[in-house]
Amino acid sequence: MEFFKNTNIDFLGKKWYFLTFSLIFSVAGLLSIAFWHGIPLGVDFRGGTLVYVKYAHTPDLAAIHSDIERAGLKNERVQSYGPATNNEVLIDLDIRETSEQALDQGKNLIIQALESHATPGRQDLNNSSSLAIAKYLLDKDPLHLAADADANARYTAIAQAIVDYRDKVKGGVLGSIDELKSVADPAVVASLEDNFFLSDFGIRNVEIVGPQVGQQLRKQAILATLYSLAGMLVYLALRFEWIYGVAAVLTVFHDTLITVGAFSLLNKEISLTVIAAILTLIGYSNNDTIVVFDRIRENIKLLRRDKLADIVNKSINQTLSRTILTAGLTFLTVLALYLFGGEVLHNFSLALVIGILIGTYSSIAIAAPILVAYQEWRGERGKQPIAMPLRAGSGPTQPKEKVKV
């Protein structure tokens, strides 16, 4: 089976279409960054408090919202999270409600606000940790173990069993304390029933990032991206010619810009993992570019008389089959990640989905034309419009002994 056989498409002839296409997307992204959504930063970078809450029933977002407002918190966002059947809600407090002095103040206020039907003097079993339950049991001693040396260990184990049942079997929310009879002694359950109540939600996940860390991570993300680009530039300049490095880095920059722009247009948040995805696609897009460049280098040696534009076109066509296949296969895996990878990986895989499409396109439509444009510019300035010279030792004539790994 073969999809592409001896294609002969004049890619360079279409460079103005490509340029227009790229410009539209880059400018749209830039406009969105400048005037619309900005760069939506995830909690890692902007700081703030995220509380993921799972409800026993379909959550009423408006009621949650007003409960939280009543507790005196401002600027919170309440949205449902993941598939609707999960009954999950994400509550997002911005950095102004996250003080450095009491980092978890916002979280505690949210929990208090949502426990609006709390029984005074009782603890919420759905939001008690195993440590807190163990502490309670040790104190009340429903099994009368006070004299035993291992009372602490036994109550800790019971508390762990209760929490495991709640989190792993019941998905985080107990319907009634009675359900615990299957994992704990009746005396323990009776004691819990007297001193605990059940709210209709459980906290699944909390992320609190103070302003200092947010700033620190922002700086690191930018540095990591820049170092990554610089690393590519140096490597390609050493392996090829400097103009190849410049072309590759410009291409990757174009990809990053469009991906970040897309996140801004879609108003999706850029988190640490999205940065990881962007760095990955920098590597991926470079892969594609290098494959084409390698072929150009090889063809320059074989077809010394031809114009660079023709050589580049021929090289793109020769590698087109590989480019499309690899892109397609990688895209398949990333799509699987996007569709089945779950909510946590959602933005991460979205960045990869966009990045692989753009990265594949750009190595054909951006990187190669830059090489040709540079050469033509040199030609106009009166210098000899020759094909790029080759570096000794890097040509395709040596591979035979290198193959023997």
Residues numbered 349-388 forming contacts with another protein, rule: CB under 8 A = 349, 352
Query: By C-alpha distance, which of 257, 250, 212, 260 is closest to 229?
Result: 250
Residue number with CB closer to another protein (15 or 370): 370
* Residue 392 CB neighbour total at 10 angstroms: 6
- Candidate segments 32-40, 63-71, 182-190, 222-230, binder of another protein by CB under 8 A: 222-230
- Does residue 186 touch another protein according to CB under 8 A? no
- Does residue 121 touch another protein according to CB under 8 A? no
- Does residue 158 touch another protein according to CB under 8 A? no
Integer Cα distance of 64 and 68 in angstroms: 6
- How many residues touch another protein (CB under 8 A)? 98
Please classify residue 267 by burial: count the beta carbons closer than 10 Å to its beta carbon, then call 0-12 exposed, 13-18 middle and 19+ buried. exposed
- Candidate segments 112-120, 304-312, 344-352, 377-385, binder of another protein by CB under 8 A: 344-352
Residue number with CB closer to another protein (66 or 326): 326
Percentages (nearest 5) of helix, strand, coil residues in the chain: 65, 10, 25
- Does residue 200 touch another protein according to CB under 8 A? no
Integer Cα distance of 320 and 292 in angstroms: 9
Integer Cα distance of 47 and 98 in angstroms: 8
CA distances from 215 to 34, 107, 264, 332 (A): 20, 21, 20, 36
CA distances from 171 to 86, 142, 241 (A): 10, 27, 58
Q: What are the tokens at 72?
A: 């005196």
Q: Kindly state the smallest distance separating residue 233's Cβ from another protein, in Å.
A: 10
DSSP codes of every residue in 96-127? GG--SSSTTHHHHHHHHHH-TTPPTT-EEGGG
Options 34, 223, 302, 386; binder of another protein; rule CB under 8 A = 223
- Does residue 247 touch another protein according to CB under 8 A? no
Options 113, 158, 163, 177; binder of another protein; rule CB under 8 A = 163
- Does residue 213 touch another protein according to CB under 8 A? yes
Q: Kindly state the smallest distance separating residue 35's Cβ from another protein, in Å.
A: 31
Q: Kindly state the smallest distance separating residue 16's Cβ from another protein, in Å.
A: 29
Q: Kindly state the smallest distance separating residue 380's Cβ from another protein, in Å.
A: 31
* Residue 68 CB neighbour total at 10 angstroms: 22
Tallying the residues shown for the chain, one arrives at 405
Q: Kindly state the smallest distance separating residue 96's Cβ from another protein, in Å.
A: 17
Residues of this chain, 18-57, that bind another protein according to CB under 8 A: 52, 54
Residue number with CB closer to another protein (15 or 166): 166
Q: Kindly state the smallest distance separating residue 393's Cβ from another protein, in Å.
A: 11
Q: Kindly state the smallest distance separating residue 186's Cβ from another protein, in Å.
A: 23
